[in-house]
Amino acid sequence: MLSSRRHWALAFTAILCAATTRAAPAQQPAQGFAVERLYLSAPGAGWFVMDALDMHGGLGGNLSMTLGYASNPLHLSDGTQRLAVVAHQAVMDIGAAVTYDRWRLYINLAAPLTIRGATGTFGDYSFTGPNVSLASHPDALSDARVGVDVRIFGGPKSRFRLGAGAQLFIPNGNRADYDTDDTYRGMGRVLFAGDEGLFSYAGQLGVHIRALDDSPTPGSPLGSELLFGVAAGAKLPVSRSLAVVLGPEIFGVTAFRSFFTSSGTSLEGLLTGRLEGTGDTGAQLRIKLGVGTGINRQFGAPDWRVVLAFEVFTYNQKT
């Protein structure tokens, strides 16, 4: 009788345990994606992200090299857990553009110099931090970008200029290195800009068509996004042919399926200064420096960022 009771008690306990104890969840591996959110403007476009829309003249060209460093561009935190999946990201972007009249056609190729981060778990997901360096990836290029911009309304120096741009990202690289989605991506943008005396401004509103939706992986892309941003500054002439432009750029993206929520929106500010040639024709140089921080820290918006760019651009008289 006692034995039978013990039997029932054990069975009851086993059922209770089975009902109340959750099996330890298996950690799902996160796959990686293109973490960079600094979608550089076209070579020769003036600002770092916005576009001055000042294309003019006959056949011209631009070559650019941009060096950027971002600290903690993918840092996961929920108050109790923290994981810097991508802690350091340095990228060199080389671009070339051809301009004619109000049109610009361009290509950018980005070479990761270092992408490093921590490996660990966050929630139900395991993350493998990237370990990209010049030594381990001596010839790596991430997604290539080709694009076209056009000024639809206004002259190259008018108060208000309106334009449009389209970009295609051609996948290249390795998702585990956090430098590509490994899928084609596209952007369509409405651009505006203007100059009034010493004041200069630019802005954009667009759509980033992104196939990758890795939800519910923390900090991952949620599909297509809305792009937005504005820039404004003072254009101060330093000589007949040179000017300094100082001013901030604020830009961000928000996923359509998580529209303007904190977890689906990244926002970043960049204080920029640039020294540039102001001639209408001939070869000119532009040197740009930007320092900024993430305002809303969805992926890609870093703790801080520094960007340095060199551009050579030529406008020719129309024949």
Partner 1 sequence: MLAGLLRFGFTVQILFTSALASGQGAPPAAHEDEAFDFMNLLSHHRLHNLDDERWNLYGQFTYISSWKMPFQAPYTNANGSINSLVPDRERSFSGTFTVFFGLKLWQGGEAYFVPEVISERGLSQIRGIGGSIQNFELQKTGSETPQLYRSRLFLRQTFGLGGAPVVKTSNPMQLGTVVDSRRLVLTLGNFTVLDIFDRNNVTWDPRQTFFNMSFMTYSSWDFAADARGYSWGGAVELYWDDWALRFGRMAPPEHPNVLPLDLRIWKYYSDALEIEHNHVLFGLPGAVRILGYRNHEVTGRFDDAIAAYRADPSKNALACTSYNYGSGNFTAPDLCWVRKPNQKLGIGINVEQFVAQNIGVFFRGMYSDGNTEVDAFNPADRSLNFGAVAKGTLWQRPFDVAGVGMSMSWISKIHADYLAMGGVDGFVGDGHLRQGAEGVFELFYSFNLFKAIWLAGDYQFLWNPGFNLDRGPVNIIGAKIHAEF
Contact between 94 and partner 1 per CB under 8 A: yes
Tokens of 65: 């090299």
What is the rounded distance in angstroms from the CA atom of residue 170 to the CA atom of residue 207?
A: 17
**Nearest distance from C-beta of residue 169 to partner 1, angstroms:** 12
Total residues interacting with partner 1, rule: CB under 8 A: 24
Contact between 111 and partner 1 per CB under 8 A: yes
Nearer to partner 1, 147 or 163 (CB): 147
Tokens of 217: 């992986």
Nearer to partner 1, 61 or 194 (CB): 61
Nearer to partner 1, 144 or 232 (CB): 144
**Nearest distance from C-beta of residue 116 to partner 1, angstroms:** 15
Amino acid 290 reads G
Other beta carbons less than 10 A from residue 93's beta carbon:
21
DSSP-based three-state secondary structure for 94: strand
- Which residues in 170-199 contact partner 1 (CB under 8 A)? 170, 172
Tokens of 231: 């820039």
Q: For partner 1, what does the binding mask look like between residues 271 and 290, x meaning CB under 8 A?
A: ------------x-------
**Nearest distance from C-beta of residue 136 to partner 1, angstroms:** 5
Q: Report which of 32, 293, 264 is spatially closest to residue 142, judged by C-alpha positions.
A: 32
Tokens of 258: 């998580």
Q: Report which of 225, 245, 236, 219 is spatially closest to residue 50, judged by C-alpha positions.
A: 245
From 54-62, 122-130, 207-215, 244-252, span contacting partner 1 (CB under 8 A) = 54-62
Contact indicator for 172, 184 with CB cutoff of 8 Å: no
The helix or strand, by DSSP H or E, that contains position 318, with its residue range, turns out to be none
Nearer to partner 1, 155 or 282 (CB): 282
From 1-9, 53-61, 118-126, 271-279, span contacting partner 1 (CB under 8 A) = 53-61
Contact indicator for 299, 35 with CB cutoff of 8 Å: yes
Q: Report which of 215, 152, 134 is spatially closest to residue 189, judged by C-alpha positions.
A: 152
Contact indicator for 171, 184 with CB cutoff of 8 Å: yes
**Nearest distance from C-beta of residue 179 to partner 1, angstroms:** 12
**Nearest distance from C-beta of residue 142 to partner 1, angstroms:** 9
Q: For partner 1, what does the binding mask look like between residues 197 and 236, x meaning CB under 8 A?
A: ----------------------------------------
Amino acid 288 reads K
Q: For partner 1, what does the binding mask look like between residues 128 and 147, x meaning CB under 8 A?
A: ------xxxxxxxx--x---
Q: Which of 6, 10, 28, 58 binds partner 1 (CB under 8 A)?
A: 58
Contact indicator for 227, 246 with CB cutoff of 8 Å: no
Footprint of partner 1 on this chain (CB under 8 A)? 58-59, 61, 63, 94, 96, 109, 111, 134-141, 144, 170, 172, 283, 312, 314, 316, 319
